[in-house]
């Protein structure tokens, strides 16, 4: 039972929730049942059918509606006397500024991307409002507490780019090629060639598509009266044409996104393409069945056109049914299966073309593909409960009992929940400690645009940057700018740094601000003539902002490779998760619960080689891709 002090703190509190997805649904329910009276929710997403297996406030009839609004209505049915204010909006909109955040006693995050998390972290720092952060991936989860000046902020430890993405992004709103790869590999390939009885999000329609017989039956079943080419074209038209048109019917989804383009086979290929396929029997002469060989496409590093991808798609499908028919129904994607890689590459590229995403070569696509794990609703519920526990401590100002808690897949010291004390702020953090950064760059060749895109937005996560050299403004973004200033700043973007009206050369100190986030940092510029194109592809190196450690043997980030549904990155130093280590000993594994240490000790330990650790950077991660999945399932470091 809660004490009178707790009940009083709960009833008085004004709480902001950001995210109404997997964690958010459980969190809103738990807040309401715990006695919270004034709750505000921000979420820009609409409900997808694929959400329904774990976001239990939503039902089939809610598909296409605002998550925040439907969640509010669902909870008010069993807690009608509390106040819940929903915002169907992006938390990065200008109305959600520092003054808005100052209205709240605590902010609770249930977000699914790194960029929004960084944005909320900076607003909470500027508003001096406590933040409770969270994340889940499969059976793993974490809750961390961030208070300005008392604990690490969310960015005190550098984060890699997110490696996992929500399934609704994969099925409905892809924005990266990796989203298209996962869709082609885990949904379309599995539906056509895998277990027919297994659930698959391609079975699902986000709204009533009508009563036509074509779309009321299973369109993925080959009809008795059609040949393989007709079947292939029908599948093509359904997934790249009809399904896109269905998605476009939900106008709410596309208010702040670029609309995709439906693609039909008749618009890309001739009515009959058999003769254009070259020697379709060529594959019989070799051990490997290959659509590329049939179509005389030789270089896997070439980027195929839309027409070429369409031919590969149809030819690969034909070869699966004509040459490997006995395997249909039992196939799973294997990156060493040439025909499977060809099919997935072609399908991903066609979908990418529909959504305006740059196409990739077969060589690149093969490198992106990996393994999959699904989200677990129970983990979301556990994490939501832990968030509320920490929120109550924050409201009581119970500083000595704040905990970062990790939900483990396997018991450690007979515990599945591992609480550790929060870390002190990192004095080297450029966000909360305002430590200057250093940038090595060729000031004569690199343009201001490169600096803005690769550093200011790409690495520092600023949305509305202002770049200054002393009192001179080199670049600014804002809705209230005069047209002549917009033209001047646009012209500056195309100039080399040393050729700007106020030249940027070695020794220059730039001040970069984001007025919405009320965040500012200084960057010391150092001129450098040459860069290693492989190791330093950006042509500039930012120090003080550290990316994920790289496996020198494989030349890729430790743990996971490139992913799709945003992937469970494993790193040596990430977030506040250095607190719990599972160290290898001669007698097996031993878990060490970390305790708060002095910053000097923290800095010293950061320079030592540590066991790997999992970083759970995303809530609502339906799909996770890893190039080294075995390393994630072993009890190394959490």
Binding site as annotated, residues for ATP? 19-24, 43, 51-54, 67, 112-117
* Measured distance CA(412)–CA(523) in Å, rounded: 43
**Which of 294, 298, 254, 248 lies closest to 274, judged by CA?**
294
From the list 534, 535, 551, 547, the residue with the least C-alpha distance to 626 is 551
379, burial (CB in 10 Å: exposed 0-12, middle 13-18, buried 19+): buried
Would strands 38-42 and 14-18 be described as parallel, antiparallel, or unpaired?
Answer: parallel
The full 3-state SS of 399-433, as one line of letters, equals HHHCCEEEEEEEEECCEEEEEECCCCCCCCCCCCC
| Catalytic pick among 168, 180, 407, 521 | 168
Round to whole Å and give the CA distance between 610 and 578: 9
Alpha-carbon span 280 to 108, nearest angstrom:
58
**CA–CA separation, 164 and 626 (whole Å):** 9
Q: What is the 3-state secondary structure (H, E, C) of 290-355?
A: CHHHHCCCCCCCCCCCHHHHHHHHHHHHHHHHHHCHHHCCCCCCCCCCHHHHHHHHHHHHHHHHHC
**168 catalytically annotated:** yes
Running DSSP on this structure, what letter comes out for residue 613? E
Whether 404 contacts 579, CB under 8 Å: yes
**Distance in angstroms (rounded) separating the CA atoms of residues 638 and 635:** 8
Length of the chain: 638
**Helices marked H in 34-129:** 67-76, 98-101, 114-127
CA–CA separation, 346 and 188 (whole Å): 12
Tokens of 292: 């590329």
- As a whole number of angstroms, the distance between CA 208 and CA 336 comes to 39
Q: What is the Cα 391 distance to its own chain's centre?
A: 25
Packed helices 67-76 and 22-33: angle between N→C axes, nearest 10 degrees: 30
* H-only helix segments in 203-258: 213-216, 228-237, 243-248
| Pair of tokens at residue 297 | 């496409």
Residues paired with residue 570 on neighbouring β-strands, in sequence order = 614
Structure tokens at 521: 């940092």
> Reduced to 3 states, what is the DSSP secondary structure of residue 40?
strand
Can you tell me the distance from the alpha carbon of 517 to that of 430, in angstroms, rounded to the nearest whole number? 14
HSE of 424, CA atoms in CB hemisphere, 13 A: 10
Rounded Cα distance, 350 and 232, in Å? 14
Is 133:109 a contact under the CB 8 Å cutoff?
A: yes
Segment holding 229, helix H or strand E: helix 228-237
Q: Name the binding residues for Zn(2+).
A: 153, 156, 429, 432
Q: Alpha carbon 137 to chain centroid distance?
A: 12
Q: How many of the other CB atoms lie within 10 Å of CB of 544?
A: 16
**Contact criterion met (CB below 8 Å) for 433 and 519:** no
Residues annotated as binding site? 19-24, 43, 51-54, 67, 112-117, 153, 156, 429, 432
Which residues form the catalytic set? 168
């Amino acid at each position: 039972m809660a004490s009178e002090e707790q009940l009083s703190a709960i009833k008085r509190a004004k709480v902001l929730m950001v995210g109404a997805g997997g964690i958010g649904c459980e969190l809103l329910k738990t807040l309401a049942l715990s006695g919270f009276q004034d709750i505000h929710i921000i979420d820009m997403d609409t409900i997808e059918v694929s959400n329904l297996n774990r976001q239990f406030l939503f039902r089939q009839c809610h598909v296409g509606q605002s998550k925040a609004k439907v969640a509010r209505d669902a909870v008010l049915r069993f807690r009608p006397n509390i106040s819940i204010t929903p915002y169907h909006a992006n938390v990065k909109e200008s109305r959600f500024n520092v003054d808005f955040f100052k209205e709240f006693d605590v902010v609770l995050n249930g977000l699914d991307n790194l960029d929004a998390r960084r944005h909320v972290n900076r607003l909470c720092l500027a508003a001096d409002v406590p933040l409770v952060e969270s994340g889940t991936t499969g059976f793993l989860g974490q809750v961390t507490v961030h208070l300005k000046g008392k604990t690490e902020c969310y960015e005190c430890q550098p984060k890699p780019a997110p490696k996992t993405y929500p399934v609704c992004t994969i099925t409905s709103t892809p924005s990266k090629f990796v989203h298209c790869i996962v869709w082609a590999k885990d949904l379309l390939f599995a539906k056509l060639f895998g277990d027919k009885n297994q659930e698959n999000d391609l079975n699902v329609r986000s709204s009533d598509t009508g009563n036509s017989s074509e779309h009321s039956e299973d369109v993925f079943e080959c009809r008795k009266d059609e040949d393989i080419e007709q079947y292939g074209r029908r599948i093509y038209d359904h997934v790249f044409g009809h399904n896109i048109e269905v998605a476009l019917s939900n106008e709410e989804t596309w208010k702040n996104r670029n609309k995709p383009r439906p693609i039909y086979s008749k618009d890309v290929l001739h009515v009959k393409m058999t003769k254009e396929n070259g020697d379709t029997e060529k594959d019989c002469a070799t051990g490997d069945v290959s659509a590329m060989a049939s179509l005389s496409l030789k270089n896997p590093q070439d980027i195929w056109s839309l027409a070429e991808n369409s031919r590969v798609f149809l030819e690969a499908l034909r070869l699966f049914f004509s040459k490997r028919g006995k395997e249909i129904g039992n196939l799973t994607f294997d990156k060493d299966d040439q025909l499977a890689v060809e099919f997935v590459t072609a399908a991903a590229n066609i979908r990418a073309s529909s959504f305006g995403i740059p196409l990739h070569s077969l060589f690149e696509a093969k490198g992106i593909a990996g393994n999959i794990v699904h989200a677990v609703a129970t983990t979301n519920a556990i994490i939501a409960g832990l968030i509320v526990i920490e929120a109550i401590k924050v409201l009581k100002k119970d500083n000595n009992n704040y905990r970062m808690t990790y939900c483990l897949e396997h018991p450690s010291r007979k515990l599945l929940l591992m609480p550790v004390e929060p870390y002190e702020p990192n004095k080297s953090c450029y966000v909360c400690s305002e430590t200057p950064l250093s940038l090595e760059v060729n000031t004569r060749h690199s343009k201001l645009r490169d600096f803005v895109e690769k550093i200011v937005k790409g690495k520092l996560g600023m949305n509305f940057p202002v770049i200054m050299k002393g009192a001179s403004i080199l670049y600014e973004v804002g809705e209230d700018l005069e047209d002549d200033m917009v033209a001047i700043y646009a012209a500056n973007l195309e100039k080399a740094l040393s050729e700007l009206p106020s030249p940027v050369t070695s020794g220059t100190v730039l001040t970069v601000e984001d007025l919405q986030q009320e965040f500012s940092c200084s960057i010391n510029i150092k001129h450098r003539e040459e860069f290693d194109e492989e190791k330093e592809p950006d042509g500039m190196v930012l120090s003080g902002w550290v990316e994920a450690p790289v496996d020198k043997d494989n030349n890729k980030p430790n743990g996971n490779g490139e992913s799709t549904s945003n992937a469970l990155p494993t790193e040596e130093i990430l977030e506040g998760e250095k607190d719990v280590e599972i160290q290898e000993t001669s007698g097996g594994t031993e878990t060490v619960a970390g305790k708060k240490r002095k910053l000097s000790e923290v800095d010293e330990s950061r320079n030592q080689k540590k066991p790997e650790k999992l970083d759970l950077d995303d809530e609502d991660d339906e799909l996770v891709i890893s190039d080294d999945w075995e390393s994630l399932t072993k009890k190394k470091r959490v």
